[in-house]
A = this chain, B = another copy of it.
């Protein structure tokens, strides 16, 4: 699914990225992704944290219903513009306004995303130069630089592309994402930008994005901490030429494509969590409700004890059951059954003899699957996370402000 051209692969988009000195590394740190031909339908989902950065406040004020029409997005890494008071809000608006100047529209047609250090005012002189340079170089050939520009401590860029036929036309959905990297003293932040050449009504796009985010990006947890800047944005150019999707079977089809891209990016984010050596996929099934399944799956995926056991390759089903039991989801320990990979390690709350070698072999791989069946109902949820390693502690303890 990874592609050399991704974010501008769907027709109708251009992008540009530059290094303007916000990051301490030599990489790009500011990018613009824009519709090539005026405003297009777009949708945005932002963090659930009550503490949010100025860019999130800007996006919410511009698209209060979560969808509408925009010309593009300006994004930077290196400074998250969080906890900078009114000055932060002014700076975010100025970033939108400057970008709009180059794209030929109003500030309200540009979304802003920032990730990086918090509590430090945005160095607007650098940002101004960066926006001018990125806008000057907008084209369909900068995808790699754009994917690099949004990275913080991600170890690799993340992108995904899927295609399908809708309304007789070939439709492309492409996305890039950054994951749980840190530029201390900031927060791990998840950002994703998705483009498509499908034609949709804005409200339909908004609904599809909300639905796609839930089982994908919102299923990822690296360390239970929620960034103040998490943002997912999708733009739809309509260049594919299909009749604008408003609902029905075409919307369902599009939502599937969008969800597929989000799922691929979410898995890449989990696999590249700070210090991660493995992807951990936790499925809770048979819960009383889907909400219960989600609560229990997240509790298992967030359990430091569980994540350490996965890091150590230990099929520790006791920690699975413990985490479900403390989560608040309904659990009857005498009904619960747990599998690690293909191996049933606990049946109805009691240890059962199992093939230790097979369980350990599964855990030695780069993807660990834990499946807990609560046998109480039909609720089901899969959470994505990574193992907890000494490297995570090193990344997050050794930096000094």
Contacts of A311 in B (CB 8 A): 393, 397
A contacts, CB < 8 Å to B: 48-52, 82-85, 118-120, 182, 184-188, 223-228, 302-305, 308-309, 311-319, 321-326, 330-334, 336, 346, 348-351, 356, 360, 387-390, 392-401
Beyond A308-B392, A325-B50, whether A317 also contacts B119 by CB under 8 A is yes
Closest chain B CB from A85 CB (angstroms): 4
Contact of A312 with B398 in the complex, beta carbons under 8 Å? yes
The reply to whether A396 and B305 contact each other, CB–CB distance below 8 Å, is: yes
Bound-state CA distance A321–B302 (Å) is: 20
Chain B residues whose CB sits within 8 angstroms of the CB of A186 once the complex forms: 318
Q: In the complex, are the beta carbons of B399 and A322 less than 8 A apart? A: no
A322's contact among B227, B318, B393, by CB below 8 Å, is which?
A: B227
- CA distance in complex: A106, B303 (Å): 40
Q: Which residues of B contact A396 (CB under 8 A)?
A: 304-305, 308-309, 312
Question: A33 vs B398: C-alpha distance in the bound complex, in angstroms?
Answer: 45
B residues less than 8 Å from A390 (CB atoms): 390, 393-394
Complex: A396 Cα to B392 Cα, angstroms:
14
**Contact at B84–A397, with CB atoms within 8 Å?**
no
Closest to A317 in B: B119
How far, in Å, is A257 (CB) from chain B's closest CB?
Answer: 30
Inter-subunit contact A318/B223 (CB<8 Å): no
> 16 A-B contacts, Cβ less than 8 Å apart?
A49-B326, A50-B331, A51-B331, A52-B325, A83-B333, A83-B349, A83-B350, A184-B316, A185-B314, A223-B305, A225-B319, A226-B322, A314-B399, A316-B401, A388-B397, A390-B390
Oligomer copy total: 2
Given contacts A224-B303, A305-B187, contact A321 B51 (CB under 8 A): yes
Docked Cα-Cα span, A314 to B119, in Å, equals 14
Residues of B within 8 A of A82 (CB): 318
Pick the contact of A48: B223, B226, B326, B348 (CB < 8 A): B326
Contact check, A304 vs B225: say whether CB atoms are below 8 A apart.
yes
Cβ contacts under 8 Å, A305 to chain B: 182, 187-188, 223, 225, 396
Asked whether B228 lies within 8 Å of A120 as measured between CB atoms, the reply is no
Please tell me which one of the listed residues B49, B309, B322, B399 contacts residue A312 in the complex, with CB atoms under 8 A apart: B399
The distance from the CB of A45 to the nearest CB of chain B, in whole angstroms, is 16
Determine how close the nearest CB of chain B comes to the CB of A399; give it in whole angstroms: 6
Cα separation A350 to B321 with both chains bound (whole Å) = 41
Q: Which residue of B lies closest to A328 (CB)?
A: B50
What are the nearest 9 A-B pairs in CB distance? A51-B325, A308-B396, A312-B397, A119-B351, A226-B326, A85-B350, A118-B318, A223-B304, A390-B390
B185-A225 in contact (CB<8A): no
State how many angstroms separate the Cβ of A243 from the closest Cβ of chain B.
Answer: 41
Nearest-CB distance from A117 to chain B (Å)?
Answer: 8
Nearest B residue (CB) for A325:
B51
> How far is B119's CA from A315's CA once the two chains are assembled, in angstroms?
12
Inside 8 A of A313's CB, which chain B residues have their CB?
400
Q: A324-B51, A396-B312 are in contact. Are A187 and B318 (CB under 8 A)?
A: yes
